[in-house]
Amino acid sequence: MPTSAVAKRAFDLAFAVPALILTAPLQAVVAVAVRRRLGSPVLFRQTRPGLHGRPFQMLKFRSMLDEDPSRGLVTDAERLTPFGAKLRATSLDELPALWNIVRGDMSLVGPRPLLMSYLNRYSPEQARRHHVKPGLTGLAQVSGRNAVKWDERLRLDVHYVDHHSIRGDLQLIWRTVRPVLARDGVTGSESVTMNEFAGKPCLEGAP
């Protein structure tokens, strides 16, 4: 039986609050490095779908340069510097999301928050990934991170929704350590980040 929302919230706070405090000095160092290497703003804010698709502002450390067609900085590959790639590979860019967890926007474990533009591309079954809060790590992340194909990624997300538990979350947090240290699956098969989810767009007027 899935964990209750109250128990999962208590679990999130028990981990995220100490983690936010303990990583504060490291986050300060990363913030200074981002400011010197990539400029301002230090934080990247993007609207992502949360529980039941409700939007929230997800926080990350900035890892890409701004778009600048005059300098040939248009695609993700062109905008991602070696410094930004290291931030992503080590997952240090994700540390500000601990604040999202403390605020209640996210959980430690759950389906990763994707793009708002994907919401109308999911099948009804795939859309059930939003029946729980999005997570900093999840079943798909420990199964290959960005290298997992979309169909399998979304199947794993829905499997998590149906079977999550405190014990399972602890196991997924532990299983997150190895791929992060090994820097496995940081890139998609066809891009430096994650291939776009095309899905099956809903047709206007279709049932």
* Residue-level pLDDT at 205: 41
* Residue-level pLDDT at 27: 97
Mean local confidence (pLDDT), 17-46: 95
Q: Report whether pLDDT(185) > 70.
A: no
Q: Report whether pLDDT(190) > 70.
A: no
Residue matched to tokens 């931030």 = 87
pTM, two decimal places: 0.85
Q: Is 22 exposed, middle or buried (0-12, 13-18, 19+ CB in 10 A)?
A: exposed
* Distance between CA atoms of residues 125 and 128, nearest Å: 6
48-62, 89-103, 125-139, 168-182: lowest mean pLDDT where?
Answer: 168-182
Q: Where are the domains of the chain?
A: 5-181
